[in-house]
């Protein structure tokens, strides 16, 4: 865990708080002196991610569905910060839970905005680089509208986030809600699930098991990895700002999936071969954020080199019991 916590919250609500990224946000806020309500229905999150926080003064786990009509009543504490991070984020999850994914972007965002409005809290939506689709502009800046297939297999996630962004913007414009949006690019690190379908945990677990490391397509598609500590720092800097417009938070180094797979094999000391499999429909060909706004507005830039982050993530998975 690195960095300071720019937002000096007294009491924070983190939806999706038992998920990979949400649990790190809960931890950082709690260690900074905030009281934290971690709300999660455990559809994708894991109670184990926050077990080390339970029992600490100021931390409470609340099992609830933020898309349910009674969500605001289940979360009655007055908050000064609402971080809406509840949503299936991996393709395996949102393809398994398509309607739930759309609900959390629509109903869940309405409910959590209502909580923020009720309490006069700062609200922050976790959006995604997927709102850019398979981009025709590179690197992707916040003013780019995207190239998204609204009825493709990935649309339940992409359009859920795009609608959530529109909802947050409308709330801020018509009701004066203190609301912002952060667009996250390929966050990785400890507490990712081994089989959630994303490249980093998939490659690492395959390499540690000595299995073929499966790269989709020809492996030339790119991503820009951002270690979780850097992402958390960026998120909380956006929370501490007054920004209403979306802000990109992501890594600065664009790497191909084939190169990532080879580095994982090397860093794990594995002898796993690289195997190429079919590429998913609408899989973006390139992904790299333009983080000029985050740097100029917030003084933020990623500090953890992606290979160092990989080493820490590999160490986490290597320490997990194998089934």
* Peptide bond connecting 139 to the previous residue in cis, omega within 30 degrees of 0: yes
Q: Which residue out of 79, 94, 157, 188 is catalytically annotated?
A: 157
N- to C-terminal Cα distance for the chain? 28
Residue whose C-alpha is closest to residue 301's, from 226, 203, 240, 220: 226
Strands of 59-63's sheet, edge to edge?
A: 59-63, 35-40, 11-15, 81-84, 122-128, 179-184, 246-249
Give the Cβ contact number of residue 247 at 10 Å. Answer: 26
- Sequence-distant (6+) residues with CB within 8 A of 65 are 41, 71
For the chain, give the number of residues: 323
Query: Is 188 an active-site residue?
Result: no
Q: Annotated catalytic sites, by residue? A: 157
């Amino acid at each position: 865990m690195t960095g300071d916590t720019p937002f000096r919250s007294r009491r924070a609500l983190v939806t999706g708080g038992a998920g990979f990224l949400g649990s790190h946000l809960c931890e950082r806020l709690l260690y900074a002196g905030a009281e934290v309500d971690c709300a999660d229905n455990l559809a994708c999150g894991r109670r184990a991610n926050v077990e080390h926080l339970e029992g600490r003064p100021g931390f409470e786990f609340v099992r609830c569905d933020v898309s349910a009509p009674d969500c605001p009543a289940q979360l009655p504490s007055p908050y000064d910060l609402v971080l809406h991070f509840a949503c299936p984020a991996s393709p395996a999850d949102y393809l398994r839970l398509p309607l739930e994914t759309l609900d959390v972007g629509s109903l869940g965002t309405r409910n959590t905005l209502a909580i923020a409005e009720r309490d006069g809290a700062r609200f922050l939506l976790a959006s995604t680089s997927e709102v850019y689709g398979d981009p025709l502009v590179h690197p992707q800046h916040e003013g780019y509208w995207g190239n998204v297939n609204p009825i493709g297999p990935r649309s339940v996630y992409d359009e859920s986030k795009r609608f959530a962004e529109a909802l947050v913007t409308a709330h801020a414009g018509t009701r004066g809600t203190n609301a912002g949006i952060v667009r996250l690019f390929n966050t990785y690190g400890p507490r990712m699930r081994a089989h959630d379908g994303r490249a980093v945990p998939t490659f690492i677990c395959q390499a540690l098991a000595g299995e073929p490391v499966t790269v989709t397509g020809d492996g030339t598609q790119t991503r820009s990895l951002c270690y979780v500590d850097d992402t958390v720092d960026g998120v909380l800097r956006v929370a501490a700002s007054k920004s209403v417009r979306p802000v990109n938070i992501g890594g600065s180094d664009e790497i191909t999936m084939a190169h990532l797979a080879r580095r994982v094999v090397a860093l794990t000391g594995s002898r796993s071969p690289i195997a190429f499999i079919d590429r998913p429909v609408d899989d973006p060909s390139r992904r790299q954020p333009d983080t000029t706004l985050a740097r100029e507005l917030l003084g933020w830039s990623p500090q953890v080199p992606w290979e160092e982050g990989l080493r820490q993530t590999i160490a986490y998975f290597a320490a997990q019991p194998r089934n």
